[in-house]
Structure 1
Amino acid sequence: MLTGITRPRLLLRTARLGTLDYARARDLRRILRVPVTPKPGADCLAQLIELEEIHNARRLRPLHEVGSPWRAARHIEVLIALLAEAQLLTASLRPRP
């Protein structure tokens, strides 16, 4: 699912760098706005994908439209979590030697 996502290079580069400082327990609750850190897995990843799509739609929306504004920092936070959770899921699916 993630291979088809195309975003500006600067957003993705920033998010990749941000994964180095990603702390799941601290960041994921804040990003998803939930009281308890969700379990890693496909459901968590699906929530992040949906949230990222909302932020991307705001980014692409014409400036004259009324509604929640696009916030680059918030979008990058979501992308960081999305990339980090995808890496976590991928690592858990790999067979161990």
Structure 2
Amino acid sequence: MTDLLTLLETLRRPSLLITAAQHGVSYYIREKTLGRLLKSDTRISHGAAIAKLMAIEADMNARRKDKNAAYSCVCHVEVLIAMLAEANFLRANCR
């Protein structure tokens, strides 16, 4: 699990995206958001959720870089919020 956290810590994204996501973490409701983002049940481990969210985020970031019309900054921030919140949950459970 620490490998996921290390990957997350080395993630480089525009500071505006990260700052917006950091502000949104306190409003994250796992049961509401995670199921919608992953299109599955929310009874998934935090590590597995992070791995799936990272894959979704990588796709979004590629669209952002390509200036793809399908890119949504709002959705990207929402996925980043979920990633940061899940990482916080994982860190808290590892102690």
Question: For this structure pair, what is the TM-score category when the shorter chain's length is used for normalisation?
Answer: 0.7 to 0.9
Residues matched between the structures, number: 89
TM-score, with structure 1 as normaliser: 0.85
- Gaps spanning 5+ residues in structure 2: where? 1-6
Q: 1:9 aligns with which of 15, 23, 27?
A: 15
Aligned to 1:46: 51
Aligned to 2:93: 92
Aligned to 1:37: 42
| Structure in which a larger fraction of residues adopt helix | 2
Aligned to 2:78: 77
1:44-66 deviation line (CA, Å, top 9, x unaligned): 11001111101000000145xxx
Coordinate RMSD, CA, aligned:
1.3
The residue type paired with residue 89 of structure 2 is L
TM-score, with structure 2 as normaliser: 0.87
- Gaps spanning 5+ residues in structure 1: where? none
- Runs of 4 or more off by more than 2 Å in structure 1? 38-41
Indicate conservation of the 8 Å contact 1:38/1:44, yes or no: no
Matched-pair identity in %: 37
Distance in 1, matches of 2:61 and 2:11, equals 10
Distance in 2, matches of 1:12 and 1:82, equals 11
Distance in 1, matches of 2:17 and 2:89, equals 20
Q: 1:22 aligns with which of 19, 23, 28?
A: 28
Cα displacement (A) at 1:41? 2.6
Aligned to 2:62: 57
